[in-house]
Amino acid sequence: MAGTQEPIYGTSHIQSVAKQAETTPYSLLKREDMKWVTPDMTNVETASFYFNGDDGHIGFAQVIYSNVAYGLSCSACI
């Protein structure tokens, strides 16, 4: 992990997708997978979704939720 320093948890908490795929190469998306944590403080969350088409095409989407100034307005917290 070049250039990655995690001061609190250390490198043991940075997970490799390749290592996870050895045991669970994919999972089906469920409704509860789409919920944000939304704690009562400033935070940033990301969700990455990988797609495999029947025709062999692959792709991914990454959605970022940012609550930088908690308490101002949170229209996505429904």
Q: Per DSSP, what are the bridge partners of residue 49?
A: 61
Segment 14-26 mean pLDDT? 83
* Rounded Cα–Cα distance for residues 60 and 29 (Å): 13
25-39 pLDDT tens trace: 888 888 888 887 777
- Tell me the domain boundaries of the chain: 26-78
Entry pTM: 0.46
**Is pLDDT above 60 for 62?**
yes
Cβ atoms within 10 Å of 70's Cβ, excluding its own: 13
**Is pLDDT above 60 for 43?**
yes
- Helix, strand, or coil here: 28? coil
**Is pLDDT above 50 for 53?**
yes
